[in-house]
Structure 1
Amino acid sequence: MQPADSDPTVGAVLYQENCASCHGAKLEGQPDWRSPNDDGTLPAPPHDEFGHTWHHGDGLLFDYTKMGGQMALEQRGVTGFVSGMPGFGETLSDEQIWDILAFIKSTWSSRVQQMQATRTEGEQLKGN
């Protein structure tokens, strides 16, 4: 779950430095993000409230960022999905990853933030 001391202001800077090249400076994602590339990976999705980031609990969002999409999904038993999302665990600290996620979530409406928080609660109940 998102630490209470995560800093969305720091996260905004880190997002621009590490994430915007794929996910967009305004969190808009890559064009046609729902259509697979030739290699089977999906383009980077938007992180604004019109994408699907908020559909996932904090644990998956953190692991997806730290370990990369492929490993995070495989760890949860999801096979047959090829993720192009690299892991940032070697270049970003856990605190920095949480700051980035805090920034992303800070751009969502309160309604979307609450729905995502509910998903995080459900994720914790399932032990993920």
Structure 2
Amino acid sequence: MGGFFERMRRVFKGRQGDRFSVTGKAIVIIAPSTDNEQRVQILDISKGGLAFVYDGSKEQLVESGILQLLSENETFLEKVHFDTASDIPLQSQSGYYRRRGVRFKWMGVFDQAKLDDFINEVRTCSL
């Protein structure tokens, strides 16, 4: 029953801010400073979340946790708490790639400002 209400909430709530495609220099580190740390390229981003592509099964990544946002090896946000919104397989000739969308959890004013700076640094166009 919770799935129905979650879908209805998404339909009526809408997206939190515009979504932007990003340059190749936008990187996210999932589970930073742990044995499961994984560095992947961001596909698109908004104030509410982001999407990235990774190689492997969805069981290899945590459903929720902490990620770190970087641009050209400069850290913009050290600790961003997230929940997975979607995780779908991609058609690929070489490897087993998946696209994951994550929602950011609550951020303070200073972290929101850093997120705005990061988006302005890496965005290319509105989607």
Greater percentage in helix: 1
Q: With CA pairs under 8 Å and 6+ residues apart, which has the higher RCO, 1 or 2?
A: 1
Larger Rg: 2
Please, what TM-score do these two structures have when normalized by structure 2? 0.28
